[in-house]
Structure 1
Amino acid sequence: MSFSAWFNEHYDEKGPVKWLAFFLEAVSSLVLFTLMALTCVDVVGRYLFNSPLHGGTELTEIGLAVMVFAAMPVITWRGGHIVVDLLDRFLGSKVVKALSLFAALVMSTSLYFLALRIFELGERSIRRGVVTEFLAMPTGYIVQYIAIMSWATAAGMITYGVYRILFQSKD
């Protein structure tokens, strides 16, 4: 199977969003693989050579942040979050649509303002020169990355999430 056939089979999005989803998932999977290798090196070093990987905890924390926040916009765009639908069968489809739309608007607005504050904290960390304890890596850039990916998630929720609720829901 060619790459383009596999790509078109596994990615339903259209246009540049398809490539963005692929890129973000590739980043997330590459970081996950790196975290696995990092953990293996740390465990082997710790138990066989009595010398753990210095800064391994910091690299793991940063890697987890990169991985989670790279996947978050794609999951939101596809509507892959856990949904509890206990009342859906008791409420009418129009009420469920209205509640879903309200929830999407509240979530995207909350993410936008949360990302705004996170970005400000990242700027402050950069200005103050805050670095990690062992590796002396600047933390502000990772914090700003989290804010940017939160904005991307909010944009995905407000655009395609609302579109999906309004036009693709089953009545």
Structure 2
Amino acid sequence: MSGEAEPAGAGARSTGPVHTVLSVICGVMLLAMMFVTLLDVVGRYFLNSPLQGATELTAMLLVATIFVGLPAVCLDEDNVTVDLLVDYMPAWIHPLRIRAIRLLSGVVLAVVAWRLAVHGQALASYGETTVSLHLPVAPFAWLAAGGTLAASLITFWHGLARRPF
């Protein structure tokens, strides 16, 4: 490793309206998770009446937070990177490597989005719901598919951009 943190988009934080909206939505969902946990703990230990479905609500909010936040991470290019071999490569290959990794990552994200959409359709076809609150599960799978597809398109866009980094 080079010893320095070197995210692909270092210093190029996105401050556009899409990034801002995604960040605010994620922040609201994190606050909602904290509020659900607070109500559950207070109810459980002080009132001997835990919040029914707190685990399900937290799980669904967590899924939504992750997959709404994924496109924002890709906009900033703040993905986790491991550069074990970079120090041993010639400098001229760096732009090609970055472009190839972005395009390959876009393909992988597109495949994951496709499989999530197929899984969501299967969940919808047999009416899968959560156990306690009977919330339909398919919309969360579709949200995950949509967030992953958006991340894929953003990653492709970065891979096709003129400037490789």
Displacement over 3 Å in runs of 4+: 10-13
Q: Identify the residue that residue 123 of structure 2 maps to in structure 1.
A: 125
Q: Which moved more, 1:27-36 or 1:83-92?
A: 83-92
Q: Structure 1: which amino acid aligns with 2:147?
A: M
The farther-off stretch of 25-34 and 152-161 is 152-161
- Mind listing any 5+ residue stretches in structure 2 that lack a counterpart? 1-11
Aligned to 2:42: 44
Residue number in structure 2 paired with 1:167: 163
1:103 maps to 101
Number of residue pairs the alignment of both structures matches: 154
Q: Which residue of 1 aligns with 2:132?
A: 134
Give the 5 Å matches for 1:137-148: 137-148=135-146
Quote the Cα distance in structure 2 between the aligned partners of 1:109 and 1:143.
19
The structure, 1 or 2, with the larger RCO (C-alpha pairs under 8 Å, 6+ apart) is 2
TM-score (norm 1): 0.83
Asked if structure 2 preserves the Cα contact closer than 8 Å seen for 1:76 and 1:161, the reply is no
Corresponding residue for 1:65? 63
More helix by share: 1
* 8 Å contact from structure 2 (residues 96, 164) kept in 1: no
TM-score (ref. length: structure 2): 0.86
Query: Once the two structures are superposed, what CA deviation does each residue of 1:99-156 show, in whole Å capped at 9, x if it has no partner?
Result: 2222111111011111111101111211211111000010001000000000000011
Quote the Cα distance in structure 1 between the aligned partners of 2:159 and 2:73: 11
Equivalent residue letter for 1:35? M
Give the 5 Å matches for 1:14-33.
Answer: 18-33=16-31
User: Is the 2:130–2:136 Cα contact (8 Å) retained in structure 1?
Assistant: yes
Q: Over aligned residue pairs, what C-alpha RMSD do you find?
A: 1.8
Kept in 2, the 8 Å contact 1:35–1:60? The answer is yes
Q: Which runs of 5+ in 1 are unaligned?
A: 1-9
Give the superposition deviation at 1:168: 5.5
Query: Closer, same or farther in 2 for the Cα pair 1:161/1:32, shift >3 Å?
Result: farther
| Corresponding residue number in structure 2 for 1:84 | 82
Where 1:51 maps in the other structure, the secondary structure is: coil
Quote the Cα distance in structure 2 between the aligned partners of 1:25 and 1:45.
Answer: 30
